[in-house]
Structure 1
Amino acid sequence: MKYDVIIIGAGVSGCAVARELAKTDLRIMVLEKEEDVCEGTSKANSGIVHAGYDAMPGTLKAKLNVRGNEMMARLSEELAFDFIRNGSLVLCFDERGRKQIEELYERGKANKVPDLEIWERERILEEEPNVNEEVVCALHAPTAGIVCPFGMNIALAENAADNGVRFVFNERAEHFERTQNGWKINGKYDSEIVINAAGVYAGHVHDAVSKEKIEIRPRKGEYFLLDHEAKGLASHTLFQLPGPYGKGVLIAPTVHENILVGPTADFTDNFEETNTTMPGLERIRSLAANTIRNIPYHSVITSFAGLRAVGNTKDFIIQESVPGWIDVAAIESPGLTSAPAIGEMVAEMVRKRLHPEKKADFVSKRKGFVNVKKLSKEEWNELIEKDKAYGKIVCRCEMVTEGQVRDACNRSVPASSTDGIKRRVRAGMGRCQGGFCLPRVMEIVAECTDGSMEKVQKAGAESVYITGKNKEDLDGVR
């Protein structure tokens, strides 16, 4: 199979590149080792759209963060994913930290971040009354925002697929052969250009083709997620002064009206270590108390962890490392914010090499998922008249209907697992975490795939729910 471009990795960076390149007449494939898009770093992060004051001026992080932030509002409208520009505060609780706040302010100005201000205690408590009263000052960045990270990733992937990009899942990119015209992957996919956007595995993939190694270390971040009833806890994204391992523990609203608390920042040598730990979660409790003392942890509905791909250059690595091979590596924070700009940058690198034509019939807009919670009574009734499945509630916590679940199974990049449904339409994201809706979701997924409940997965081939049938097994014993 011959392509012009093969992208390794269907995270937010890979899908942003795919969407940009889909504007051309190039033949493009995305190769992903998991069963869906957004299965790695992109699904388990803070969902923060950073303003751009943190990165050092002159770095790719600084440039692409600010550009990605500028692009986010229009992109969210075109691709119908949730984005709110709620602003952020970097809080200082000791007068000795004021100098650091001022340094962040000056760095942000150098990075051309608009409308930055330093707020004093009175203004902070007026805007965020739950913040620790010992607060001294804060850097306010009104252009910061929040986004649904998997919603954004899925939207980019679907729009790319709608415009002809092929997605291949459940296949790890393992074998790379240099050819006369480019590369052969896994002995069967030929491409002039390969784009390595493999997340925490980007170093491994790069090292298979280059003698100059890229060092990527996974850094684990653990989080608490609070139920909707805690949504008034904070309106801005609340940071503490940054430390050596990033922006520290934050408290932030989500676009779905939850509250996120975390993360930790612990290096690990295990590239699959996404478990939460009691010490990690206790550390979050301790550190978050500096920002807001009475966090209602009785409202926690889940905890989770994700891995960041941390390079040894303190910057993103975006370069043509060997002829026809472009690395998009070490995309840690602010990678989510930067993703649209990363897509632009890498697509331009490809254009300069292959000189493609613009696609005359490129479709820039994507139809989003129905959210019945946002519909008026009249709109919902009208939808039910067209399809009665939208009147059957499957997930009571998040008010998700059968019609929404079926839609998620029948898109250009369809959900094939219960986690895929969860990330697309939120069935299982609520207070009971799927305790009520999971059996019905499994039935619908089975009906939309091969009709077998035994083959329905949580996320990947090793995660089936049903391992046997109690009644039939007992009947056999009798």
Structure 2
Amino acid sequence: MADKNYDVIIIGAGVVGSMVARFLSRYKLDVLLIEKDSDIGMGASSANTAIIHAGYDPKPGTLKAEMNVVGNQMFDQLAGELNFTFERRGDYVVAIGPEEFAKLESLRQQGLENGVPGMVILNGADVRRREPNINPEVSGALWATTGGICDPFGVVIAAAENAVVNGVTLMTDTAFQDFIMDGKHIVGIKTNRGDFSSRWVVNSAGLYSDVVMHKAGLRPEFKITPRKGEYYVFDKAEITINNVLFPVPSATSKGILVTTTVHGNTIIGPNALEIDDKEDRSITREGLDEIWQGAINLVPSLSLRYSIAEFAGLRPGGNAPCENPDVKYNKDFIIEIPKQVEGLVNLGGIESPGLSSSPAIAVRVVELLKGAGEKLEEKSEWNPIRRARPRFRDMLPTEQKLLIENDPSYGRIICRCENVTEGEIVAEIHAPIPARTYDAIKRRTWLGTGRCQGGFDTPRVVEILARELGVSPLEISKKGKGSEFLVRPTKDEEAE
């Protein structure tokens, strides 16, 4: 017996699952979005380069190429509706030496074939004028005007929050276990928190999308191979790169890039190491050395003295062949309603450019459901706008003064490096998707990401979380159960 009936259940609340939920929230459907972790966006969406790719890199004729270019064009409107940070800065593919410069034209032609507008090949002098820190041996660059940067978790939270406000049910700490079948028809799912019935299930499980589809008996040959990418983050007060700088790509990777971010920090990375463990986000000395060598080839003046953090993310690399038999490519996206079972929209292998492609994938899911006979009736009350909460550091002094007069908690700075206030933290704890852990607060406010890496703010955040959630400080964790900060109240113990 199922605990509740839904029209659509979405497995996985990363950027793709959250976008699908947001676009489906437009219709008169009862939608459930489940996430196995304690917060949304903690898988592949949690650690990446934050680039909205122009679309010249994917192989022409693939779903990757199509979704990348279409998705890229959607970000201006989405950023306006959902109020996440997005900057269409463009990006550069930088050639060092004449041999690499000769490869830029073929990359431009590939972009034209994919439908990418606004690409120009610059000479070395032009690149040096635009980015003074670039390797002086630069011979030129492909300048793609439609490239952009964003706050990747901001995209996830904005899409999911808008979905929830429009009626989607979100359940975190809810892990998919199996499908409930009636013959070859999927009629629901089993989870660690009970069974749920539905007419449709969307597999948007990222790194675990192969596991999910195999439970339905689909694509036994399909495998997700996690591809680890490691990064350095630099102090924005010491190193300023104002552009997105790619090297000339290889057959397997876009290469080690040096890029600015919407938060002002410069980051370098990633490498591309195929591993077996879908949870291994450890950093390695060898990997960090690799990205360092790649980065200083583009910007020799970088100094590790100003590195303030290192991290690693995992990309869900698949082995699906392109649907077009004339295109020889075996790492394409899967976006389908399979014929072997009924009631499933199957998404898999959504690696880079997955973030860029996510809104286009969501639209394709809606189209697939309509094509399968699902009558989607729009809600008259659907609201595409997600209101942003105040960000103290981005406000004018007059605006800050007015905010503090209205709520004095905005006058108490909790994170000095990033100027995050108590008012902002409290607002996120009580948001439509509540932040209940330190990392959840960090992803939403950028608290704890500066020079001290949370050394100053952590005790205060623990105190605020405990107070607002009405729990003991001993229950407050970094990222969910098993990562609690405190084990006992030492002062009380000593007093006894």
TM-score, normalised via structure 1 length? 0.97
Equivalent in 53, 57, 77 of residue 50 of structure 1: 53
Report the counterpart of residue 225 of structure 1 in structure 2.
Answer: 233
Please state how far the C-alpha of 1:211 moved relative to its aligned partner.
4.3
- What does 1:6-405 align with in structure 2 at a 5 Å threshold? 6-179=9-182, 182-186=186-190, 188-213=195-220, 214-232=222-240, 234-313=241-320, 314-321=331-338, 322-353=341-372, 354-405=374-425
Asked if the contact 1:200/1:271 (under 8 Å) is kept, the reply is: yes
2:429 counterpart of 1:430: no
Report the counterpart of residue 328 of structure 2 in structure 1.
Answer: none
Asked if the contact 2:257/2:294 (under 8 Å) is kept, the reply is: no
Query: What CA distance in whole angstroms lies between the structure 1 residues aligned with 2:48 and 2:23?
Result: 23
Please state how far the C-alpha of 1:292 moved relative to its aligned partner.
0.7
Asked if the contact 1:25/1:358 (under 8 Å) is kept, the reply is: yes
Query: What CA distance in whole angstroms lies between the structure 1 residues aligned with 2:235 and 2:181?
Result: 51
* Alignment size in residue pairs: 475
Asked if the contact 2:178/2:212 (under 8 Å) is kept, the reply is: no
1:241-272 Cα deviation digits (max 9, x unpaired): 11132101000000010001001110000110
Please state how far the C-alpha of 1:381 moved relative to its aligned partner.
1.1
Cα distance, 1:285–1:76 mapped onto 2, change above 3 Å:
same
Moved more, 93-102 or 340-349: 93-102
Please state how far the C-alpha of 1:475 moved relative to its aligned partner.
5.1
Asked if the contact 2:97/2:138 (under 8 Å) is kept, the reply is: yes
Please state how far the C-alpha of 1:451 moved relative to its aligned partner.
2.4
1:336-376 Cα deviation digits (max 9, x unpaired): 01111111111221233321200110111111121111111
Asked if the contact 2:229/2:273 (under 8 Å) is kept, the reply is: yes
Task: Supply the AA of the counterpart residue of 2:134.
Answer: V
* Structure 2 stretches lacking a partner, 5+ long: 321-330
Query: What CA distance in whole angstroms lies between the structure 2 residues aligned with 1:351 and 1:160?
Result: 19
1:71-96 Cα deviation digits (max 9, x unpaired): 10111111111111111111111212
Report the counterpart of residue 461 of structure 1 in structure 2.
Answer: 481
SS at match of 1:183: strand
Query: What CA distance in whole angstroms lies between the structure 2 residues aligned with 1:207 and 1:307?
Result: 21
What's the % identity of the aligned pairs? Answer: 40
TM-score, normalised via structure 2 length? 0.94
Task: Supply the AA of the counterpart residue of 1:358.
Answer: E
Task: Supply the AA of the counterpart residue of 1:203.
Answer: D
Query: What CA distance in whole angstroms lies between the structure 1 residues aligned with 2:57 and 2:215?
Result: 33
Moved more, 13-22 or 370-379: 370-379
Moved more, 235-244 or 92-101: 92-101
1:261-306 Cα deviation digits (max 9, x unpaired): 0011100001100011111111111111110111132221111000
Asked if the contact 2:188/2:201 (under 8 Å) is kept, the reply is: no
Task: Supply the AA of the counterpart residue of 2:34.
Answer: L
Moved more, 33-42 or 276-285: 276-285
Asked if the contact 1:369/1:425 (under 8 Å) is kept, the reply is: no
Report the counterpart of residue 327 of structure 2 in structure 1.
Answer: none
Asked if the contact 2:32/2:171 (under 8 Å) is kept, the reply is: yes
Task: Supply the AA of the counterpart residue of 1:402.
Answer: E
Query: What CA distance in whole angstroms lies between the structure 2 residues aligned with 1:242 and 1:212?
Result: 30
Task: Supply the AA of the counterpart residue of 1:32.
Answer: E
Task: Supply the AA of the counterpart residue of 2:83.
Answer: A
1:120-162 Cα deviation digits (max 9, x unpaired): 1110101011111111121110110100000111100100001
Report the counterpart of residue 8 of structure 2 in structure 1.
Answer: 5
SS at match of 2:305: helix
RMSD: 1.3
Query: What CA distance in whole angstroms lies between the structure 2 residues aligned with 1:66 and 1:212?
Result: 27
SS at match of 1:54: coil
Please state how far the C-alpha of 1:468 moved relative to its aligned partner.
2.2
Query: What CA distance in whole angstroms lies between the structure 1 residues aligned with 2:370 and 2:40?
Result: 25
1:215-255 Cα deviation digits (max 9, x unpaired): 110000000011111452x2221000111321010000000
Task: Supply the AA of the counterpart residue of 1:144.
Answer: G
Query: What CA distance in whole angstroms lies between the structure 1 residues aligned with 2:369 and 2:459?
Result: 45
Equivalent in 439, 462, 468 of residue 419 of structure 1: 439
Asked if the contact 2:203/2:345 (under 8 Å) is kept, the reply is: yes
